[in-house]
Structure 1
Amino acid sequence: MKKTTNKVQDNYMKAKAVVESIESRQKEIERQYIADKGIVNPDGSIPELLYCMEDDAAFETANEECSAIIVSAGLESELNAASAVLKTAEEKLIEYGLSIAPAGVRAVLQEEVKKNACTRMKVIDLVFRLDASTVRM
């Protein structure tokens, strides 16, 4: 079977997966904290995550305690490191995408990806979806 991604896309995909995995583990800690503490909103609903808590004072306490759990588990430093790798992979992906764009489009996009987050994400999405087997590296 023909490979449809290149190394730049693969690196981005792997870095994104690592970040999402760590974030998922953090969310699971929050869910467990909510369950263990029996946290319930005034309307009787159980918040899915801490930010869904309606009581601001209870949220502040829960957020501090849960953050301490996440830090002590090493997830904060893991996420910071993984986010840095993802940022580098994003930069490389954008750089690759711009390198294959037509010259006129490239000039506009080079400036826009620096100052517009929406444009940046659209370029990342388009380059990530690109069938790399159709483009010379």
Structure 2
Amino acid sequence: MEIKIGHTEDAKTEEYIIQRLWQHNERFTEINMKTLNVILYDDQQNIQGGLLAHTWCGTLDIHYLWIDDAWRRLGTGRQLMQAAEDEARNRGCHMSVVDTLSFQARGFYEKLGYRVYGEQEGYAQRYARYYLAKRL
């Protein structure tokens, strides 16, 4: 046996490990993982924001949400979230989950009906990470 530590991305190896995990999980429940990306473009088709997620096991699992500073506080974040939640419902999802750090967007998610179900202190020795969920 040999254990190796890597310091660069290896897409082939990562995909293999992920697929093996899903094969294991599918013995217990249907995974049906699908990518769900909602992207904000300006009039020149430049990306100004986006939400990257997956739907699986009846859940919208939001990984990343970013909005360019010029587009913040205009309702665009809310629109991206609504579009993702609507599509998740169309895919049969009954809940949505997201996490955020204390300097990021906890209040934003709470205004959209998300509730904190977990908290972990100590990120960078000064921030908290919040885990939030919402029924769809």
Compute the TM-score of the two structures, normalised by the length of structure 1.
0.28
Higher strand share: 2
**Larger-Rg structure:** 1
Higher helix share: 1
Task: Tell which has more relative contact order, 1 or 2 (C-alpha 8 A, sep 6+).
Answer: 1
